[in-house]
Amino acid sequence: MAPSPFAIAICAVAAGVAIASAPATSISSSSSATYFEDIKCSVEDVEIANSRQLYSILNEVVNTTYFRLFKVDLERTCHRDATVKPSCEAEEVLEAESDDAKCDLQPEAKKNPSGFDAFFAHQEEEVDRRLSDKEEHALLSEEAACDPNLPEFWLDMCSNIPTTSSEYVNLVLNPEAFTGYNGSTVWARIYHDYCSISRRPEDLWYEEKVLYRLLSGMHASINIHIAHSFYPPRKSKGVLTYTPNPQRFMEQFGSNPQFIKNLHFAFVVVLRSLAKAAPVLRHIPIQEFSDEEERVFTKHLLNRLLDSHILRSCRPLFTAFDESLMFRDDDDIKQLLKTQFKTVFKNVSAELDCVTCQKCKLHGKLFLLGLGTALKILLIPESLLLSSPLAREEMVALVNTAQKLSSSIEYVGKLQNLFLLQQANGNGTVDKSGQAPGAAPSGEQPAKPATGLQVPVAPVAFDVMDQAVGTVAAALAKGQFDSQDSHDSVLQSVLHGNAALLALAKHYPPSDFAAHARRYLATASAPASADPPAASYDADLIVVGGGLAGLSAVLTAAEAGLRVVLIEKESYVGGNSAKASSGINAVSDDGTISHDGDNTAIFAEDVRKSSGPAGITPLGRALVRESAAAWRFVVDTGSLTLDKVTQMGGHSKPRTYRPSKGMAGAEITLSLFAKAEAYRNFKMLKKTRAVDLTFDGAGRVSGVRHAAANKNGPGTVGVTTAPAVVLATGGFAIGRRNDTLLQEYRPDLMPLATTNGRWCTGDGHHMSIRAGGDVVQMEDVQVHPTGFVDPAHPDADTKTLCAELLRGSGGLLLLRNGSRFVDELGTRQHVSAAMMAADPESLAFTILLHSSAAAASMTHVPMYESKRLLQRANTVDELAAHLKIGRDVLIATLEKYNEDAKKGADAFGKTHFNNAPIDVGGYFYFGTVTPVLHYTMGGVRIDTEARVLKAGSDEPIPGLWAAGEVAGGVHGTNRLGGNALTECVVFGRIAGEGAVKEAQAISSGDEAAERSSERDSGDVASGPRKISLAEVAEHNTPDDCWVVVHGKVYDLTDFVDEHPAGPQSILDIAGKDGTESFVAVHTKATLAVFAPIGDAAD
């Protein structure tokens, strides 16, 4: 078989279905708005629309005569030798039941391990092909309508699933259920054919990801249906229907929620195809398969599914998948990719002929035909869809596949709840059927209950347990738990039938229940006596926000011996500081930190020119004056080497420092955090949102109220007290969303995308304003001229910043016609304004790096290229073709630039031509950029000691400081590139020093003297754990992500979503040795913040 680039996609499915026995954990995907990769809606959107409408409608539709009769060839000969041993292990497949399971079930020779011999014997019989008289009559006039020889490429997508059989099968008489058949051999053979080709996951095409997620979704759906209909009817026991096996479900999916996400993904793709095919589905000849009454009823159901009300209420689902991103280029590679895409799908289709259980084969072919039909609908033009209508079996398969996916999503919650109920009752009876759902088959040990607080357990009635779990869920939704651990502890005890908590849940509302439950558990598990608190405050300083400003304050205070608590609403530190890649500005007058005769006076003049009409502010002068000390703090405290310096836009001298390897912001923040964690007097509250400040009777700050992050309920779940608080929560430059400070102060900028993270919601601004603090310059929001437009997601609300370093190294900005229009090294305000004036319609411009400029930017170029934000053109001809610009026009632009560089000036006022001249015969890198929201110059008003000032006066609020982007008035109306990191360190340290003085004034002399900056030496370990690469490979998902770097194994699960460059670059190396990818962007010192969980073993 010819090698295919889809090898890695199929292998990814193989890896993706590896299910290990997992503890009982919640796998609900909708507790937060989890967004799918490759589609534009959330898991919660899918579940809500499915539960409210789609599930019930689809179940009614597939029970009509037209959609329950399906014709498919089940007699085709398997093209393989059934004795071939697959190279992919059966344990990597969802369907594997045991090592001795056979593909060809022989009930007379093999006793069923579950003890239901009669049931298994029955399941091996032929498919039930009985048809009623009405169904027989309806089929007489039906004609085949699938022609695989049509010239249009995608129309033969399903040709390996022939529907030319002379017999129809009634799907209602043949439901999908557990038959005892083990399909692992067939799945393994599918993987085996394509596992021999080696490609890096980061090289996957978008189309490859789509295919393997669809197959993974199909695989998940099959196994969910099997778990839902696992135990057969037992009429002697009064059990008339299949009953579920929730234990099996949790073993397969409990620690693998990514498979549930793939299930949702497949559902969205199928729904999108239904929407596109609506004109065809509305006019299918139902009358040929039903009488008038049923025809009207079936049409009515279809209209309920497809009419404008459904489309309107579920529009985020039906339009969530964008098929236009697939195969949209006409180059040779994409043409080859098309052929191989279809070839792989056909080969997978052919493998189903090797399934020896006919019912399993029936449902497998039905499902795969539905997916193939969905892909065909989405990939052919609408005109062709109307002129070459779908075959009847394709429409039947499409609708039934939608129903299968819908049911699977609905069953997930049911199976999970049954499992939790089973655990709570110790596998006791929980229904009236005479059989416990999920009870272990005879001869098997029952599942052990989940571990937790050991309390007496007695059988609990379902309604009591249901009410208690509902109360816990409501308390969580209202933010009543101070941490996930607190919630988990209460829920675990409830599920174990703790009588005290069940009583609390019965009589108290959620807002009170959580507090009483926490107190009860603390009392139940606490020792008989406890030492009194060491001081009247929980801490000496609370810092809100874990970016560079917050970390600078933390370290300044921790080094002085203060007890410091950092509150961070994300799961990791860094914030927008970690995204800053160009560097940190600094200059000294003694010549130790200066280039080309630079000094603080020249730096201050550059700041003045950039700041606007008001000129440089006292805060701006403090930034310049303290920049050298900030630089030394970063280098010395963070143990960093900032040996690269560049000249950025608006600067007259090179003074922006960065490390030779890695991104400046990420390297600095992670290094400083590693230092902070070494202090015993430092504590961090992750995933915790600061809600408000607290005050004592004298009107001074006394602490912070906080809640579980992303829980915006009215109640608070915790208060940490301290005499000093530093706000370092960042800015508010996020548009395209309601109820923001940006909407209040700069509504004109709302349509722009942003470079900022989701955390920039102005929390510190709101807290300060409520405390009586003043704000300043809130209308001054900086638009950065260059945010990358990702070709795969051009309309994304968040853009990757195209670092100013690229323009500082000699990068050019071009219009669509290939001409320059601005001094690329002008201030951000100047360049952005020029872009908006030059092309206000598209706001799309080319960033162009010639070979010398690219060579000077190699800390950034590989990263941008790996994300396909930059592309390489090896010649000017190739560049002109990509940009759709005439070759002569492009060469003229480049040669004119060289002439101006030689003269030292151009028509746009540019006087610095770094890395010129351009080698017209060399290579180039290019990408598309657009103006983006980037920074807020306005914010909380502070003085030069970083104290927050009261509204209408220059009096500080006692005990409150602010540093970083949350503070306003530092930069005037425009910020110079590189000054953000400098500002963070300068004012973070000033705020930390102020808190030290405040704490020392309040604390007793003896108590303050006794504290020291103790460093945690750590316990002596017996040696690092040895972890095999095979074990690492099992942890390859967003929810379970291990990576090997420099021989150490790191668990990066909590860091995936917070990675400044986005999650994909981590996921690309999940479960693998990622050393090569890591060292291309980062230094080894970056890893100091992560504790390895073991050593990689060969």
Separation CA 291–CA 829 (nearest Å) = 71
β partners of residue 784: 932
From residue 586, alpha-carbon distances to 574, 784, 871 in Å are 21, 21, 33
Separation CA 553–CA 566 (nearest Å) = 10
Separation CA 1067–CA 38 (nearest Å) = 14
Catalytic residue among 807, 820, 850, 860: 807
Catalytic residue among 784, 820, 828, 1035: 784
**CA contacts within 13 A on the Cβ side of 807:** 29
Known catalytic residue at 807: yes
Q: In sequence order, what DSSP letters do the residues of 365-385 get, joined into one string?
A: HHHHHHHHHHHHHHHS-HHHH
β partners of residue 567: 544, 685
Residue of 818, 756, 782, 708 whose CA lies nearest to 974:
782
- For residue 137 the two structure tokens come to 């009559």
β partners of residue 685: 567
- For residue 105 the two structure tokens come to 């079930």
Measured at the CA of 761, the angle between CA 756 and CA 767, to 5 degrees, comes to 140
Known catalytic residue at 52: no
Residues 6+ apart with CB under 8 A from 494: 424, 465, 468, 469, 472, 501, 502, 505
Cis peptide before 456 (omega within 30 of 0): no
Residue of 483, 471, 464, 302 whose CA lies nearest to 396:
302
Coil/strand/helix, residue 657: strand
For 519, list phi and psi in degrees, rounded to 5: -65, -40
Separation CA 487–CA 497 (nearest Å) = 16
**CA contacts within 13 A on the Cβ side of 468:** 26
Q: Within the chain, what is the greatest distance between any pair of CA atoms?
A: 100
Separation CA 641–CA 627 (nearest Å) = 16
Write the Ramachandran bin of 868: left for phi over 0, alpha for psi from -120 to 50, otherwise beta.
left
DSSP letter for 956, please.
E
Measured at the CA of 808, the angle between CA 802 and CA 811, to 5 degrees, comes to 65
Separation CA 662–CA 644 (nearest Å) = 11
> Other C-beta atoms within 10 Å of 118: how many?
11
For residue 438, how far is the Cα from the chain centroid?
33
Residues across the chain: 1098
DSSP letter for 735, please.
-
β-pair type (69-70, 564-567): unpaired
User: Which residues are catalytically annotated?
Assistant: 784, 807
